A = this chain, B = another copy of it.
Amino acid sequence: MTRFADALAAIVGRENLFEQGAIDDRYRHSMGRKYVGAPAYVARPGNTAEISAILRAANDARVPVTALGGGTGVVGGATALPGGLVLSLERMRRIEEVDSNSLTMIAESGVTIQAAHEAAEAQQLFFPLDLGARGTATIGGAIGTNAGGNRVIRWGMMRDMVLGLEAVLADGSVVSALGKAVKDNAGYNWKHLLIGSEGTLGIVTRAVLRLRPRPLTTATALLAIDSFESVVSVLRHLEAALPGTLSAFEVMWDNFYELVTRANAAKRDRPLPLGHRHYVLVESLGSDPVADPGRFEAVLGEILSKGWAADAVIAQSPRDSERLWAVREDLMEPLSALWPMFAFDVSMPLTAMPQFVDRASAGIRAAFPDATILIYGHLGDGNLHLVTKVGRADEEAEHIVDSAVYDVVGELGGSISAEHGVGLMKREFLSRTRSPAEIQMMRRIKSALDPNGILNPDKIFSPLT
């Protein structure tokens, strides 16, 4: 046992420290198993004070530290460096308070998204962040990556739900601003700097989350739309006509819809026939059980009568609603058919999307004529996902495909990461949508707050030299 390990054991107890060969696989692998970490230590602290002591020790010993939440990230952001320390938040699962007057929840960073949902619901409240990995992904991970998900169009991203934050910096100092007010303009908003910084500037320990009144009605529909222009018209019409209730607008391109509904055909029928260019899942969460259903039907009627949508189906029951969501979310089997694949998560101005789809597809097909390319995404947020199987999975193929996609994103004024983050996966391409001046600014901030470079130092950009 090294002196550093002794120090860790003294902080967290021997039962919460694992070393080398005794480290379980789940601390090494991230989702998709593409990135494999090589930690020398895993520590499972129980509170903020222990994390502070761990970081002080790591900073003194110059041991790199990678925080680990639910491990559902897809860009290698939680992959430990060789010889490094994995700081697992799995023991920090306390929900310390749900305040139904202030509409706030105080949660430790290891709390899962689903546990936060349930704690809010128990008080007739609502925590809006939602994504497929809800049962495993944690509040701390969602903060570290500024998670998005399905309801950004209405409630924003994780950053919009964090009122207060507590974190430990590289030198062990604890910054704590667990205020419950929406407004706080007293000095720099370091909270927003830490959110989305992928564990490179500080380790989030607790957060004050903003809750909302629980919606009382749910309306779900699937629309078939034959041109991208009409998709935009429908989005704008829904935003104007259902301003406070529109909560999802998920667009699927034709081949995504076809693949998913075919792969899941044994489980459920296809809700609308093939043959249209786009399929759009619309959700509206309201509070008026009397008026909401009629309003939703009337608005969809307008959309059909204007000719924007060619066909539509409205869920008549919660089971119906689940069946429609499954087209967008039950992707396990459909995507496994595409393995090995490359997946992208990019954003851009809405108007640039048709051009992006054409040019990125053409770029991929120039190298791989038989590539399968599926496109879907959160259109209202400017966010598209592109998944492609080109028949190869080697590094050269990856680089060709990455370049084909990211070059176009850069030229169209977009971002290489809408919601997944940069991690290890997109590091090489950060400069496609961030200028040298911006990256220089980020490095200066990193260097000021973590001068020894111990916090996840190989993520987002290559380590400071």
Give residues in A with beta carbon < 8 Å to B. Answer: 99, 101-102, 104, 145-146, 148, 152, 156-157, 159-160, 169, 173-190, 192-193, 195-197, 201, 212-213, 215-216, 232, 236, 239-246, 286-288, 291, 295, 347-351, 378, 380-383, 413-422, 426, 430, 433-435, 437-442, 444-449, 460-461
Contact = CB atoms under 8 A, between A and B. Distances in A.
Given A178-B413, A183-B152, A189-B193, A350 B240 contact: no
A101 B193 CA distance: 30
A433 B186 contact: yes
A351 B104 CA distance: 11
B179 A413 contact: yes
Lowest 6 CB-CB distances: which A-B pairs, in order? A244-B244, A181-B382, A192-B192, A448-B448, A181-B347, A183-B418
A351 B101 CA distance: 6
A251 to B, nearest CB: 14
Given A102-B350, A413-B179, A448-B444, A189 B195 contact: yes
Most buried by B among A243, A291, A417, A461: A243
B445 A447 contact: no
A438 B183 contact: no
Nearest to A246: B244
Most buried by B among A102, A188, A215, A434: A188
A187 B461 contact: yes
B187 A146 contact: no
B243 A181 contact: no
26 contacts: A101-B350, A102-B349, A146-B189, A156-B182, A169-B441, A175-B435, A175-B438, A176-B435, A177-B435, A180-B349, A181-B347, A181-B381, A181-B382, A183-B347, A183-B419, A184-B417, A184-B418, A185-B196, A185-B422, A187-B439, A188-B196, A188-B446, A189-B196, A240-B287, A244-B246, A445-B445
Contacts of A461: 187
A187 B174 CA distance: 23
Given A156-B160, A157-B183, 19 more contacts: A99-B351, A146-B189, A156-B182, A177-B434, A181-B418, A182-B383, A183-B378, A183-B383, A183-B415, A183-B419, A184-B347, A185-B196, A187-B461, A188-B193, A188-B196, A188-B197, A189-B193, A288-B295, A444-B448
Contacts of A236: 213
Contacts of A180: 348-350, 382, 413
Nearest to A168: B437
A286 B246 CA distance: 13
Contacts of A188: 193, 196-197, 201, 441-442, 445-446, 460
